[in-house]
Structure 1
Amino acid sequence: MSGTDFIGPVFAFLAILALIPAALWLLKRTPIGGAATGTPMRLVGALPLAPNQRLVTVEVGQGDDRRWLVLGVSPAGISTLHQMPPQAELPAAPAATGLAFAQLLKKQQKPGSSDAR
């Protein structure tokens, strides 16, 4: 066997290796791979509890079948904590910003008190 007999199979092997990432990329972006555009799911809210733990509320379903799921998310997995019908969404509270929190804190402090230590 000469060295040129190996060029064809080696080239075919390298071509297959190059096509694997391209096929995976394409699979992620098609409905076959689970990237359906009409997925009836959306994030309603998230509350970080610890650096690696969150409380998440998601809405699943459509129409009368809509449900809100309260999920506990941690490195150990995802747990369903509660299910409920969709709630009326409230506008973002102004107290959610750092400036509003600072203003509320200032109101709570007693006049004349100082924190100088």
Structure 2
Amino acid sequence: MSNGLASLFWFVAILALIPLSLWLLKRTPIGGAGGAGVIRSIGTLPISTNQRIVTVEVGAGDERRWLVLGVTPSSITTLHTMDPQDDAVAAPPMGPPGLQTVGPAFAQVLAKLRRGKDGSP
């Protein structure tokens, strides 16, 4: 194998290892996979572009608690702590700040547009 081909081989091998390494890191405790199921989002209420109130459930079994948190870019403050409510439904997983959906889901809007104004398919 010539020197140029060997260099190309190692370059491609390293490029292939990057996604593999990220995939493995995502599934280890170092990458955040160790805390799965310990905390879940219950609801979010945007107050302004940089502030929101978030309710999360922490703990398991009899030790479960709901925390109402005030979230700003510079801090997270516990506003209230309460017992979990059994009739509440968990919110969908939150994305990065500012990307939470505010209206109907994209799929619903697209379905309405495809049906047309008269409602026919």
TM interval, shorter chain, is 0.5 to 0.7
Q: Aligned-residue CA RMSD in angstroms?
A: 2.7
Query: In structure 2, what is the Cα distance between the partners aligned to 1:90 and 1:26?
Result: 34
2:52 match: 54
- Preserved CA contact (<8 Å) 1:54 1:74: yes
TM-superposed CA distance for 1:39, in Å, is: 1.0
Query: In structure 2, what is the Cα distance between the partners aligned to 1:13 and 1:79?
Result: 47
Query: In structure 1, what is the Cα distance between the partners aligned to 2:75 and 2:11?
Result: 38
2:49 corresponds to 1:34: no
For the structure 1 residues 90 and 10, does the alpha-carbon distance in structure 2 shift closer, same or farther, using more than 3 Å as the test? closer
Whose radius of gyration is greater, 1 or 2?
1
For the structure 1 residues 77 and 7, does the alpha-carbon distance in structure 2 shift closer, same or farther, using more than 3 Å as the test? farther
Q: Structure 2: 5+ residue runs without aligned partners? A: 90-121
Q: Structure 1: 5+ residue runs without aligned partners? A: 92-117
Q: TM-score, normalised by structure 1?
A: 0.57
Runs of 4+ in 1 over 3 A off after TM superposition: 87-91
For the structure 1 residues 60 and 14, does the alpha-carbon distance in structure 2 shift closer, same or farther, using more than 3 Å as the test? same
1:73 match: 71
Identity %: 55
Deviates more, 1:40-49 or 1:30-39: 30-39
Aligned equivalent of 2:21, options 14, 23, 27: 23
Deviates more, 1:33-42 or 1:17-26: 33-42
TM-superposed CA distance for 1:61, in Å, is: 0.6
2:6 match: 8
Query: In structure 2, what is the Cα distance between the partners aligned to 1:38 and 1:25?
Result: 16
Q: Which amino acid is 1:52 matched to?
A: N
Task: Look up the SS of the partner of 1:70 in the other structure.
Answer: strand
